[in-house]
Amino acid sequence: MHIDIITLFPHMFQGPFEEGILRRAREKGLLSIALHDLRAFGVGKHRQVDDVPYGGAPGMLLRPEPIVAAVESILDRPVFRGADTAVEVETLPPIILLTPQGRPLTQAVVKELARHDRLVLICGRYEGVDERVREFLVTDEISIGDYVLSGGELAAMVLVDAVTRVLPGALGYERGAEEDSFASGLLEGPQYTRPPEFRGRQVPDVLLSGHHERIAAWRRDQALKRTRERRPDLLEKRTSSEDPSSGE
Ligand code: 6GU
């Protein structure tokens, strides 16, 4: 998986991509990330990337030319669907704008993105981007939740982390991602490690029993209970075929 990230703040990405699973995925060659400074594609002597909204409104908008120039330079082909340009959208990697107006990022979306061998991420900034970028350049818009961030950078890091975790071989053990919350449509139940007793609090007996079937049944029960208590909306979304309590 190769991910190109277009941003006004490339330095923001340095810490998160150099630790843990992301670092290992890059070292193993499963993931490569190229950061592209939007400023380098700015207009004129001052490399301008933003301007005031037509019609008057507070704040600044990202202009279309730097963003389009960045994507066309990265992909080395025309990508803007201008009035007189034909673009074969089918042969493009997803060109994704991170914006609170996008479709919500879910584990299903993460898996869908992970099937591509390349992604281009555009981090929105300021009060937004010129509408022609959404209409004629990007192929997808994604949000990471119903709250406002100062820009798409943190959202892009979240997306890259989530996508990397589902790349085959990224975790170093193979069942993890499947058992994570949301992969099954359920929250994970409680987990314990050593010591078996801590300040008078015991690990549940069943987990120490060595009885694999009983342990699996207990975990399913606990996951269902936790999901019912905390995220009943997830249970409603599941199909009955996924429900481990059906058919028992
Ligand atoms: Cl992708 N961008 C911004 N600016 N805010 C957000 C977001 C994205 N997702 C949730 N809030």
Report yes or no: 139 and 94 within 8 Å, Cβ to Cβ: yes
Over residues 112-126, the pLDDT tens digits come to 999 999 999 999 986
Domains identified in the chain and CATH numbers: 2-165 (3.40.1280.10), 181-246 (1.10.1270.20)
The residue written with tokens 């879910």 in the block is: 106
> What is the token pair recorded at 199?
């300040």
Query: Of 62, 98, 125, which is best to mutate to test ligand 1, by the most ligand atoms within 8 angstroms of its C-beta?
Result: 98
Cα–Cα separations (whole angstroms), residue 9 to 37, 70, 102: 7, 14, 21
Other C-beta atoms lying within 10 Å of the C-beta of residue 194: 7
> What is the token pair recorded at 233?
């909306």
What is the dihedral angle through the alpha carbons of 87, 89, 93, 94, rounded to the nearest 10 degrees?
A: 120
Contacts 24+ apart (CB under 8 A), 109-115: 109/142, 110/159, 110/162, 110/163, 110/166, 111/166, 113/159, 113/163, 114/1, 114/163, 114/166, 114/167
Answer yes or no: is the C-beta of 96 below 6 A from any ligand 1 atom. Answer: no
Give the Å distance between the CA of 172 and the centre of ligand 1.
30
This prediction's pTM: 0.93
Over residues 48-61, the pLDDT tens digits come to 999 999 999 999 99
Contacts 24+ apart (CB under 8 A), 170-176: 170/21, 170/24, 170/25, 170/28, 170/30, 170/31, 171/21, 172/24
Q: What's residue 127's pLDDT?
A: 83
Read off the pLDDT of each residue in 24-34 and give the average, rounded to a whole number. Answer: 97
Answer yes or no: is the C-beta of 104 below 6 A from any ligand 1 atom. Answer: no
Residue 83 above 70 pLDDT? Answer: yes
Give the Å distance between the CA of 149 and the centre of ligand 1.
5
Residue 58 annotated among the catalytic residues of the structure:
no
